[in-house]
Structure 1
Amino acid sequence: MSEPYADEVFYKDDYEGTPFEAGNFSRLSKRASDIIDALTDYQVSKIGLDKFSEHVQLLIKKACCAQVEYYQIEGIQSDISGTTQSGGSLSIGGFSYSGGMQSTSKQANRVAPACLSYLEATGLLRKRSVRIGVV
């Protein structure tokens, strides 16, 4: 496996992300890098991060950090189950609380919105098109 796209020093010093438990960063950043690879059709891992311009490298690192932070806030379970901690609801007696609206797609809940924003600016997001044909 290749190295994660962002290291702990970048996350803490440059991105200034949400603090995490000691020893967790490696696992979370590897998982975040896997998400980035899937979203970009593995272009970054095929080409190599260092082959991109400095600006695109920075955006990829920030996307990785945004995904790590998402795991910190929403829980790593969001990657496994597609459900987030904040998207749930709670009822106690007459009191009811409902989190933010969740996407109906479990896959959409796996990815941090900020991660997608950074990747969109790189031009690397996989384009999905619809083909229309005449029968």
Structure 2
Amino acid sequence: MAYVTQDYYLKDFHGEAVQEADFPSLEERAAEIIEELCMYRIKESNMESYSPDIQERIKKGICAQIEYLDANGGSEMDNGVDIQSAGLGKFNYTKVSGTAGNQGQSIYSPGQGGFLPLQDFYTEEADVYEGNSKSSSNPYDNAAQERK
């Protein structure tokens, strides 16, 4: 079962149209990216245990990532292949690295700090779900308090 359906993506999120055949792979890759951004603190199998607000944030984050991936080459845009040069007829393209080197295109949807604002997932609710009874909702604050 997927985090979001194409129906949710189109009707609730109001995302740009995506080919029906491409949607499953885009959703799967987008979900992987969002899970990574949340440091694997979310799981599809635990979706029902999250509050409705957290569920909606996760769904919207995945939909935004689907839209971004689709607009920038699909779910394979991060397959590691980087075109250095190409030519067709009189047209030639050669990639030139800047002085800081090749940065490439990010696979992450642009947002605050280059990432989706889904990182607000670090809430008391997430800590409670994981069985932690920490006073701070910031996991880095909690680690510092535990060292004291």
TM-score bracket for this pair, using the shorter chain length: 0.5 to 0.7
Structure 1 residue 73: Cα displacement? 0.8
Amino acid at match of 1:28: L
Amino acid at match of 1:66: A
Judge conservation of contact 1:62–1:118 (CA < 8 Å) in 2.
no
Match of 2:52 in 1: 54
Query: For residues 16-50 of structure 1, what are the alpha-carbon distances to aligned partners after superposition, in whole Å with 9 as ceiling and x for unaligned?
Result: 10101121111100111111111222221187111
Judge conservation of contact 1:78–1:110 (CA < 8 Å) in 2.
yes
Report the 3-state secondary structure (helix = DSSP H, G, I; strand = E; otherwise coil) of the residue aligned with 1:110. Answer: coil
Q: Unmatched 5+ residue regions in structure 2?
A: 83-89, 92-101, 124-138, 141-148
Judge conservation of contact 1:78–1:109 (CA < 8 Å) in 2.
no
Q: How many residues align?
A: 107
Segment drifting more, 108-117 vs 33-42? 108-117
The reply on whether 1:13 has 2:22 as its aligned counterpart is: no
Match of 2:61 in 1: 63
Match of 1:24 in 2: 22
Structure 1 residue 80: Cα displacement? 2.4
Judge conservation of contact 1:29–1:64 (CA < 8 Å) in 2.
yes
TM-score, normalised to structure 1's length? 0.64
Distance 1:119 1:82 in 2: 28
Q: Unmatched 5+ residue regions in structure 1?
A: 84-91, 94-103, 129-135
**Larger Cα Rg: Structure 1 or Structure 2?**
2
Report the 3-state secondary structure (helix = DSSP H, G, I; strand = E; otherwise coil) of the residue aligned with 1:62. Answer: helix
Structure 1 residue 111: Cα displacement? 0.7
Residues 79-98 of structure 1: matches in 2 within 5 Å? 79-81=78-80
Report the 3-state secondary structure (helix = DSSP H, G, I; strand = E; otherwise coil) of the residue aligned with 1:78. Answer: coil
Structure 1 residue 118: Cα displacement? 3.6
After superposing on structure 2, the runs of 4+ consecutive aligned residues of structure 1 that deviate more than 4 Å are none
Judge conservation of contact 1:60–1:118 (CA < 8 Å) in 2.
no
RMSD (Å), alpha carbons:
3.3
Match of 1:109 in 2: 106
Relative distance call for 1:29 and 1:46 in structure 2 (3 A) is closer
